[in-house]
């Protein structure tokens, strides 16, 4: 199956547009999936921007495809050190900037249900060998005319085809708290969101049970282009 894939009920396949949530994007449209730096209320600057192609956009689910080789924006230290190479103790306090770079490796399918404080990403290896799902804990996405914005919460979960799972990046989650990027209450909320995601995983609910690992992108889709105004300040709609 390629291109538009809409698992689940007939309602999911023909969900009407909700004016309160703004217009729906059509399959094949190109939007931006962005993360803002850590400041309350989406007030931080955009430090991650990924052009993606819409697979599905309904009341139940936004699904997008990030193609291999997509030019993205990512954070980097001002001295040129990649963020992941900076020692953990100073990873979130060393001066940063943003750089443009290509997404390396295979493409990524991202799935997000409105209101969920996480998104689910699918990764494949060579020859479309499915590797795993990745639950990225984050703010529920805020929609705007050109895409969606969120704030990453550091803590993540890997989910494997045999339905086992494990926490990821707990060291970064702890360091973010020590560095003052989230207070104790915020950290408790993130951990609670993670436990809620684990309940979905253990019940093998959507989207894990929906067969997205068998989806394939439309070969006619071009690789989206990173626009010059990728860091624009939008007027937000609801998520």
Q: What pLDDT is stored for residue 16 in this prediction?
A: 36
Task: Read off the pLDDT band of 223 (50, 70, 90).
Answer: very high
Q: What pLDDT is stored for residue 119 in this prediction?
A: 98
Let me know if 180 is exposed, middle or buried by CB neighbors in 10 A (0-12, 13-18, 19+).
exposed
Q: Which pTM value belongs to this model?
A: 0.89
Radius of gyration of the chain (CA): 17
Element (H, E) at 122: strand 118-124
* Residues 187 and 177 sit within 8 Å (Cβ to Cβ): yes
pLDDT at residue 91 tops 80: yes
Q: What are phi and psi of 12, to 5 degrees?
A: -65, -30
Mean pLDDT, all residues of the chain: 90
Report the 10 Å Cβ neighbour count for 113.
19
Q: Tell me the average pLDDT across 213-233.
A: 96
pLDDT at residue 109 tops 50: yes
Q: Tell me the average pLDDT across 97-121.
A: 95
* Chain centre distance of CA 100: 18
pLDDT at residue 94 tops 90: yes
Q: What pLDDT is stored for residue 121 in this prediction?
A: 98
Q: What pLDDT is stored for residue 89 in this prediction?
A: 95
Which residue ranges form the domains of the chain, and what is each CATH number?
Answer: 26-214 (2.40.380.10)
Q: Kindly report, residue by residue over 160-186, the tens digit of the pLDDT.
A: 999 999 999 999 999 999 999 999 999
3-state secondary structure the chain: CECCCCCCCHHHHCCCCCHHHCCCCCCCCEEEEEEECCCHHHCCCEEEEEEEEEEEECCCCEEEEECCCCEEEEEEECCCCEHHHCCHHHCCCCCEEEEEEECCCCCEEEEECCCCCEEEEEEECHHHCEEEEEEEEECCCEEECCEEEECEEEEEEEECCCCCEEEECHHHHHHHHHCCCCCHHHHHHHHHHHHHHHHHHHHCCCCCCCCHHHCECCCCCCCCCCCCCCCCCCCCCCC
Q: Kindly report, residue by residue over 125-153, the tens digit of the pLDDT.
A: 999 999 999 999 999 999 999 999 999 99
Q: Which residue has the higher pLDDT, 105 or 202?
A: 202
Q: What pLDDT is stored for residue 195 in this prediction?
A: 98
Q: Which residue has the higher pLDDT, 140 or 17?
A: 140
198-222 CB burial, b ≥16 within 10 A, e <16: eebbeeeebbbebebbebebeeebe
Q: Tell me the average pLDDT across 178-198.
A: 96
Q: Tell me the average pLDDT across 92-99.
A: 94
pLDDT at residue 72 tops 90: yes
């Amino acid at each position: 199956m390629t291109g538009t894939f809409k698992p689940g009920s007939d309602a999911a396949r023909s969900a009407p547009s909700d004016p309160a949530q703004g217009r729906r994007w059509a399959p094949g449209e190109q939007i931006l999936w962005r993360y803002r730096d850590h400041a309350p209320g989406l007030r931080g600057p955009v430090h991650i921007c990924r052009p993606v192609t819409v697979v599905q956009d309904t009341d139940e689910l936004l699904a997008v495809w990030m193609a291999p080789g997509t030019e993205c924006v990512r954070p980097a230290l001002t001295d040129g050190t990649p963020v992941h190479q900076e020692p953990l103790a100073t990873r979130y306090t060393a001066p940063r900037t943003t750089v443009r770079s290509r997404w390396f490796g295979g493409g990524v399918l991202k799935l997000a249900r409105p209101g969920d404080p996480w998104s689910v990403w699918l990764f494949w290896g060579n020859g479309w060998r499915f590797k795993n799902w990745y639950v990225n804990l984050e703010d529920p996405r805020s929609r705007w005319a050109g895409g969606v914005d969120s704030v990453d919460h550091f803590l993540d979960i890997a989910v494997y085809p045999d339905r086992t799972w494990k926490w990821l990046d707990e060291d970064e989650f702890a360091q973010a708290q020590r560095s003052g990027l989230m207070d104790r209450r915020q950290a408790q909320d993130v951990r609670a969101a993670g436990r809620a995601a684990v309940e979905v995983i253990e019940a093998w609910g959507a989207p894990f049970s929906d067969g997205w690992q068998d989806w394939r992108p439309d070969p006619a889709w071009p690789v989206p282009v990173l626009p010059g105004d990728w860091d624009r300040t939008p007027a937000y709609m609801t998520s």
